[in-house]
Amino acid sequence: MKAVQFPEQTAILTAPNCHDLPVFSDGEIVVSKWMPSKEDLVKINNGEGIYLLIVSGHSQPPVNLLVGSPFISQEDANTPTETENKEQA
């Protein structure tokens, strides 16, 4: 998996011995976007799980993994696209 830039990002987090991490932050949540490599996709498609590692000590903060943009409202996500409307016609 590789962290990638995205239009909504507001900052890039840096730390010694780490890759830069593009993020969106509004002071309450921090969002980063990750893209799987071709090798990752093969493993996922063969049933391999996705693991989340937090480098912070003995505890883990609340986290959420999801597929798709969290910046699309639920209403927009449920609205058929123009292509979907044409396919239904």
Question: pLDDT tens digits, residue range 5-64?
Answer: 999 999 999 989 889 999 999 999 999 999 999 999 999 999 999 999 888 778 878 889
Residues spanned by the domain of 12 = 2-88
Structure tokens, 38:
């071709």
What sign has the CA pseudo-torsion 18, 34, 30, 13? positive
pLDDT score at 57 = 77
pLDDT score at 60 = 75
Q: How far apart are CA 60 and CA 24, in angstroms?
A: 20
pLDDT score at 7 = 95
Q: Domain count of the chain?
A: 1
- Model pTM score: 0.73
Contact 72, 57 (CB under 8 A): no
